Amino acid sequence: MELMPKSNVSAFNLPNALTSLRILSIPFFASMLIYRQHRWALVVFVLASISDALDGLIARLTKKQTRLGQFLDPTADKFLLITSFILFSYYGWVPTWLTIGIITRDVIVVVGWGLFYLVHHVAFVKPSFMGKFAIAFQMVLVAYVLLKINFPEILPEPTLIVWVTASATIASGLHYIYRGFKYTSE
Protein backbone atom coordinates (compact mmCIF):
# COMPACT_ATOMS: atom_id res chain seq x y z
CA MET A 1 0.00 0.00 0.00
CA GLU A 2 1.47 3.35 -1.00
CA LEU A 3 1.43 6.06 1.62
CA MET A 4 1.24 9.74 0.76
CA PRO A 5 4.50 11.65 1.22
CA LYS A 6 4.74 14.58 3.60
CA SER A 7 4.82 18.06 2.12
CA ASN A 8 6.53 21.22 3.31
CA VAL A 9 4.56 23.49 0.93
CA SER A 10 2.25 26.11 2.46
CA ALA A 11 -1.37 24.93 2.61
CA PHE A 12 -2.59 28.32 1.38
CA ASN A 13 -2.04 28.19 -2.38
CA LEU A 14 -3.94 28.38 -5.67
CA PRO A 15 -4.72 24.64 -5.97
CA ASN A 16 -6.20 24.52 -2.47
CA ALA A 17 -8.13 27.73 -3.13
CA LEU A 18 -9.66 26.15 -6.26
CA THR A 19 -10.58 23.03 -4.30
CA SER A 20 -12.15 25.17 -1.57
CA LEU A 21 -14.20 27.02 -4.19
CA ARG A 22 -15.38 23.65 -5.51
CA ILE A 23 -16.58 22.71 -2.04
CA LEU A 24 -18.32 26.07 -1.68
CA SER A 25 -20.08 25.55 -5.03
CA ILE A 26 -21.87 22.40 -3.84
CA PRO A 27 -24.77 24.19 -2.05
CA PHE A 28 -25.32 26.32 -5.17
CA PHE A 29 -25.28 23.19 -7.34
CA ALA A 30 -27.80 21.47 -5.05
CA SER A 31 -30.01 24.58 -4.99
CA MET A 32 -30.01 24.75 -8.78
CA LEU A 33 -31.22 21.14 -8.94
CA ILE A 34 -33.83 21.60 -6.22
CA TYR A 35 -35.21 24.76 -7.81
CA ARG A 36 -35.15 23.12 -11.26
CA GLN A 37 -32.56 25.47 -12.69
CA HIS A 38 -31.00 22.53 -14.54
CA ARG A 39 -28.94 24.56 -16.99
CA TRP A 40 -27.34 26.48 -14.16
CA ALA A 41 -26.71 23.20 -12.34
CA LEU A 42 -24.94 21.96 -15.47
CA VAL A 43 -22.86 25.17 -15.60
CA VAL A 44 -21.88 24.88 -11.93
CA PHE A 45 -20.98 21.20 -12.41
CA VAL A 46 -18.85 21.96 -15.47
CA LEU A 47 -17.04 24.75 -13.60
CA ALA A 48 -16.49 22.43 -10.62
CA SER A 49 -15.12 19.74 -12.95
CA ILE A 50 -12.76 22.22 -14.60
CA SER A 51 -11.53 23.38 -11.18
CA ASP A 52 -10.99 19.71 -10.23
CA ALA A 53 -8.76 19.21 -13.25
CA LEU A 54 -6.96 22.52 -12.76
CA ASP A 55 -6.19 22.21 -9.06
CA GLY A 56 -4.40 18.90 -9.52
CA LEU A 57 -2.56 20.04 -12.63
CA ILE A 58 -1.43 23.31 -11.06
CA ALA A 59 -0.35 21.54 -7.85
CA ARG A 60 1.79 19.05 -9.80
CA LEU A 61 3.28 21.57 -12.24
CA THR A 62 4.17 24.12 -9.55
CA LYS A 63 5.12 21.42 -7.02
CA LYS A 64 2.59 22.83 -4.56
CA GLN A 65 1.01 19.58 -3.48
CA THR A 66 0.07 19.75 0.20
CA ARG A 67 -1.30 17.40 2.81
CA LEU A 68 -4.35 19.65 3.03
CA GLY A 69 -4.85 19.41 -0.73
CA GLN A 70 -4.44 15.64 -0.62
CA PHE A 71 -7.33 15.57 1.84
CA LEU A 72 -9.50 18.37 0.39
CA ASP A 73 -9.48 17.27 -3.26
CA PRO A 74 -11.04 13.83 -2.79
CA THR A 75 -13.33 15.26 -0.09
CA ALA A 76 -14.62 17.87 -2.55
CA ASP A 77 -15.21 15.15 -5.15
CA LYS A 78 -17.06 12.97 -2.64
CA PHE A 79 -19.30 15.79 -1.41
CA LEU A 80 -20.18 16.80 -4.97
CA LEU A 81 -20.86 13.21 -6.05
CA ILE A 82 -22.85 12.19 -3.00
CA THR A 83 -24.95 15.37 -3.22
CA SER A 84 -25.54 14.66 -6.92
CA PHE A 85 -26.50 11.03 -6.48
CA ILE A 86 -28.81 11.67 -3.54
CA LEU A 87 -30.70 14.34 -5.49
CA PHE A 88 -30.61 12.36 -8.74
CA SER A 89 -32.10 9.29 -7.07
CA TYR A 90 -34.71 11.43 -5.29
CA TYR A 91 -35.84 12.81 -8.66
CA GLY A 92 -35.67 9.36 -10.29
CA TRP A 93 -32.81 10.20 -12.67
CA VAL A 94 -30.61 7.36 -11.41
CA PRO A 95 -31.60 4.14 -9.66
CA THR A 96 -31.73 4.39 -5.86
CA TRP A 97 -29.74 1.15 -5.56
CA LEU A 98 -26.83 2.86 -7.35
CA THR A 99 -26.84 5.76 -4.88
CA ILE A 100 -26.96 3.32 -1.96
CA GLY A 101 -24.05 1.38 -3.48
CA ILE A 102 -21.94 4.51 -3.99
CA ILE A 103 -22.58 5.76 -0.46
CA THR A 104 -21.96 2.30 1.02
CA ARG A 105 -18.62 2.06 -0.79
CA ASP A 106 -17.62 5.49 0.51
CA VAL A 107 -18.63 4.60 4.07
CA ILE A 108 -16.57 1.39 3.86
CA VAL A 109 -13.55 3.34 2.59
CA VAL A 110 -13.86 6.05 5.27
CA VAL A 111 -14.38 3.56 8.11
CA GLY A 112 -11.48 1.46 6.79
CA TRP A 113 -9.26 4.54 6.62
CA GLY A 114 -10.28 5.49 10.17
CA LEU A 115 -9.44 2.03 11.49
CA PHE A 116 -6.20 2.05 9.52
CA TYR A 117 -5.29 5.40 11.06
CA LEU A 118 -6.08 4.19 14.60
CA VAL A 119 -3.93 1.10 14.18
CA HIS A 120 -1.02 2.43 12.07
CA HIS A 121 -1.16 6.21 12.72
CA VAL A 122 -0.86 6.90 8.99
CA ALA A 123 -3.04 9.81 7.91
CA PHE A 124 -2.92 9.64 4.11
CA VAL A 125 -3.22 6.63 1.87
CA LYS A 126 -2.68 7.06 -1.85
CA PRO A 127 -5.86 6.48 -3.89
CA SER A 128 -5.86 3.37 -6.05
CA PHE A 129 -6.28 3.26 -9.80
CA MET A 130 -9.59 1.40 -9.30
CA GLY A 131 -10.79 4.13 -6.94
CA LYS A 132 -9.92 6.86 -9.43
CA PHE A 133 -11.60 4.86 -12.22
CA ALA A 134 -14.81 4.55 -10.17
CA ILE A 135 -14.82 8.27 -9.33
CA ALA A 136 -14.24 9.11 -13.00
CA PHE A 137 -17.25 7.04 -14.07
CA GLN A 138 -19.38 8.54 -11.32
CA MET A 139 -18.45 12.01 -12.63
CA VAL A 140 -19.21 10.94 -16.20
CA LEU A 141 -22.62 9.66 -15.12
CA VAL A 142 -23.41 12.91 -13.28
CA ALA A 143 -22.40 14.93 -16.36
CA TYR A 144 -24.42 12.66 -18.64
CA VAL A 145 -27.53 12.90 -16.45
CA LEU A 146 -27.24 16.69 -16.34
CA LEU A 147 -26.92 16.78 -20.13
CA LYS A 148 -29.88 14.37 -20.46
CA ILE A 149 -32.02 16.58 -18.21
CA ASN A 150 -31.14 19.66 -20.24
CA PHE A 151 -31.35 18.01 -23.67
CA PRO A 152 -33.77 15.08 -23.24
CA GLU A 153 -34.52 14.67 -26.94
CA ILE A 154 -30.86 14.19 -27.91
CA LEU A 155 -29.49 11.62 -25.47
CA PRO A 156 -30.63 8.06 -24.76
CA GLU A 157 -31.12 6.76 -21.23
CA PRO A 158 -27.82 6.25 -19.36
CA THR A 159 -28.37 2.53 -18.72
CA LEU A 160 -24.93 1.40 -19.88
CA ILE A 161 -23.15 4.16 -17.94
CA VAL A 162 -25.16 3.25 -14.82
CA TRP A 163 -24.01 -0.38 -15.02
CA VAL A 164 -20.38 0.50 -15.74
CA THR A 165 -20.44 2.98 -12.84
CA ALA A 166 -21.96 0.38 -10.52
CA SER A 167 -19.39 -2.23 -11.57
CA ALA A 168 -16.47 0.17 -11.15
CA THR A 169 -17.78 1.29 -7.75
CA ILE A 170 -18.13 -2.29 -6.50
CA ALA A 171 -14.72 -3.28 -7.89
CA SER A 172 -13.02 -0.30 -6.27
CA GLY A 173 -14.69 -0.97 -2.92
CA LEU A 174 -13.51 -4.58 -3.00
CA HIS A 175 -10.04 -3.43 -4.06
CA TYR A 176 -9.78 -1.02 -1.12
CA ILE A 177 -10.86 -3.80 1.26
CA TYR A 178 -8.22 -6.10 -0.28
CA ARG A 179 -5.52 -3.42 0.04
CA GLY A 180 -6.45 -2.81 3.67
CA PHE A 181 -6.26 -6.49 4.59
CA LYS A 182 -3.05 -6.94 2.60
CA TYR A 183 -1.34 -4.02 4.32
CA THR A 184 -2.45 -5.02 7.81
CA SER A 185 -1.28 -8.62 7.32
CA GLU A 186 2.30 -7.56 6.43
Domain regions of the chain by residue span? 14-184
Asked if residue 134 lies in contact with residue 168, where contact means CB atoms within 8 angstroms, the answer is yes
User: In this model, does residue 37 exceed pLDDT 70?
Assistant: yes
Q: Fold for domain 14-184? A: Four Helix Bundle (Hemerythrin (Met), subunit A) (1.20.120)
pTM: 0.85
Q: How sure is the predictor about 81, in pLDDT bands with cuts at 50, 70 and 90?
A: very high
pLDDT tens, position by position, 96-139: 999 999 999 989 888 877 777 787 776 666 777 888 899 999 99
Specify the pLDDT at position 43: 95
Rg (CA), the chain: 17
Counting Cα atoms < 13 Å in the Cβ hemisphere of 77 gives 24
Any alpha helices (H) in 35-158, and if so which ranges?
38-61, 67-90, 96-120, 129-150
* Among the ranges given (50-64, 128-142, 152-166), the one the predictor scored with the smallest mean pLDDT: 50-64
Q: Give pairs for 29-34: CB < 8 Å, separation 24+.
A: 29/80, 29/83, 29/84, 30/83, 30/87, 33/87, 33/91, 34/87
User: In this model, does residue 1 exceed pLDDT 60?
Assistant: no
Specify the pLDDT at position 11: 62
